């Protein structure tokens, strides 16, 4: 049966229908709650149950730990009400007026930037435009009702073409196609935008961006947006990859270094090869941040990449570096052979 949900502190109310999650109903009713993957993997939609009973649904144990459940926390993208609820969640005004659209698009350009990374640029029909925030993602609608999701790598002010960074997952339903049979001028269908991974412009705190692999895609969009807005906030980018060749757009942050005095770039290799002759930072990318910052209480952190990187960064920064939990924003990618759940830039 339907149940009523009240959001605190706003007092907004909405009804969750049978078999709907709290997040699905909130978005349907026009209330923008934080979210990312929509499949219980990233933890971006985590909030508090103040009263009422829920079915927690299936989710990654790293995204919602048992001790967090004991504290009344839940993932709103998976939780379903078993009674009327009162929840605590921070509503996001910036996303509420953006309309989710389903549109055809044409593959304009395919550029292989690494052995397993394709940069795809797509074009919408001449009379259509996709309004989005830098950092959000889209779904490609595939046969059989399936979809695969990828972060937009271009900022909203530069939207003549939409840019995606697609990592090849062997056996992947969509990425196999991108790396084998997809051609320029092919027609695809997209739906979006989605997600709450975007810069909070109502803050003047310095920002640390952490990208793992193709997690660089949404962060590229966010940084280009920040530069276009002439922000004077400190911007620090850590980009973690395995080897030197995996820095598939290294020239771009190097260019930003020359152009923007408030920008800093730290590439980190976890497995540099002898031929790389690498003299820079090594190890896990979030650990490089721990070395450089003893106190993150005055910062915002935006992290994008594999769940293990995102989860490790969140836990370490909050527990050991005083980062406020609500100043950590994440876009968690999940890769699987036939379940490239989104966003998977």
Strand 300-305, strand 207-212: pairing: parallel
Checking if the pLDDT of 340 tops 70, the result is no
Can you give the pLDDT at residue 342? 45
Among 22-26, 98-102, 130-134, 318-322, the range of highest mean pLDDT:
318-322
Domain(s) of CATH 3.40.50.80: residues in the chain: 207-332
Q: Can you tell me the distance from the alpha carbon of 275 to that of 269, in angstroms, rounded to the nearest whole number?
A: 13
Q: What is the pLDDT of residues 41-82, one digit of tens each?
A: 788 899 999 999 999 999 888 889 899 999 999 999 999 999
3-class DSSP state of 21? coil
| Sequential DSSP letters for 175-191 | HHHHHHT--TT-EEEEE
Which residue ranges does the chain devote to CATH 3.10.20.30?
A: 3-91
Who's near 314: CB < 8 A, 6+ residues apart? 43, 303, 325, 328, 330
The pLDDT value recorded for residue 334 is 64
pLDDT of residue 35: 84
| Mean pLDDT (whole number) for 253-276 | 97
**Reported confidence tier of residue 344, pLDDT bands at 50, 70, 90:** low
The answer regarding whether domain 101-194 maps to CATH 2.40.30.10 reads yes
CB neighbour class for 245 (10 Å; exposed up to 12, middle 13-18, buried from 19): middle
Question: Contact at 8 Å (CB) between 193 and 105?
Answer: no
Note the pLDDT tens digit of each residue in 272-326.
999 999 999 999 999 999 999 999 999 999 999 999 999 999 999 999 999 999 9
Tokens standing for residue 104: 């055809």
Q: How confident is the model over 229-254, as a mean pLDDT?
A: 97
pLDDT at residue 176 greater than cutoff 80: yes
Contact 196, 92 (CB under 8 A): yes
pLDDT classification of 2: cutoffs 50, 70, 90: very high
pLDDT at 105 > cutoff 80: yes
Structure confidence at residue 37 as a pLDDT band (50, 70, 90): confident
> What's the chain's length in residues?
345
The pLDDT, as a whole number, for residue 60 is: 85
- CATH 2.40.30.10 in the chain is located at 101-194
The answer regarding whether domain 207-332 maps to CATH 3.30.70.380 reads no
Look at residue 333 in the predicted model and tell me its pLDDT.
77
Do 321 and 312 form a contact (C-beta atoms < 8 A)? no
Closest CA to 300 of 264, 328, 322, 321: 328
CATH of domain 3-91: 3.10.20.30
How large a percentage of the chain has pLDDT more than 70? 96
pTM of the full predicted structure? 0.84
Alpha-carbon gap, residue 95 to 99, rounded angstroms: 9
């Amino acid at each position: 049966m339907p149940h009523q949900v009240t959001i605190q502190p706003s007092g907004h109310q909405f009804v969750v229908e049978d078999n709907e999650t709290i997040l699905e109903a909130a978005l349907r009713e026009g209330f923008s709650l934080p979210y990312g993957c929509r499949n219980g993997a990233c933890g971006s939609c985590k909030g508090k149950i103040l009263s009422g009973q829920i079915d927690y649904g299936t989710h990654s144990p790293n995204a919602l730990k048992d001790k967090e459940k004991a504290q009344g926390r839940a993932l709103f993208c998976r939780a379903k009400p078993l009674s009327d609820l009162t929840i605590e969640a921070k509503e996001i005004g910036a996303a509420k007026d953006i309309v989710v659209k389903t549109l055809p698009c044409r593959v304009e350009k395919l550029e292989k930037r690494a052995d397993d990374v394709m940069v795809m640029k797509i074009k919408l029909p001449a009379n259509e435009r996709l309004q989005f925030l830098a950092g959000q993602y889209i779904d490609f609608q595939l046969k059989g009702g399936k979809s695969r999701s990828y972060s937009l790598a271009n900022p909203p002010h530069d939207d003549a073409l939409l840019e995606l960074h697609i990592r090849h997952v062997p056996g992947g339903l969509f990425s196999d196609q991108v790396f084998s049979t997809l051609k320029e001028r092919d027609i695809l269908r997209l739906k979006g935008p989605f997600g709450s991974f975007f810069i909070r412009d109502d803050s003047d705190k310095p920002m640390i961006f952490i990208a793992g692999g193709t997690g660089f895609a949404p962060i590229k969009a966010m940084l280009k947006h920040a530069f276009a807005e002439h922000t004077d906030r400190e911007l620090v980018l850590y980009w973690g990859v395995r080897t030197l060749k995996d820095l598939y757009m290294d020239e771009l942050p190097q260019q930003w270094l020359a152009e923007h005095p408030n920008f800093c770039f730290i590439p980190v290799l976890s497995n540099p090869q002898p031929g790389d002759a690498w003299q820079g930072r090594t190890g896990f990318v979030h650990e490089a941040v721990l070395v450089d910052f003893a106190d993150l209480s005055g910062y915002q952190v935006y992290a994008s990449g594999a769940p293990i990187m995102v989860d490790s960064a969140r836990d370490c920064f909050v527990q050991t570096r005083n980062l406020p939990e609500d100043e950590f924003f994440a876009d968690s990618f999940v890769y699987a052979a036939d379940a490239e759940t989104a966003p998977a830039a």
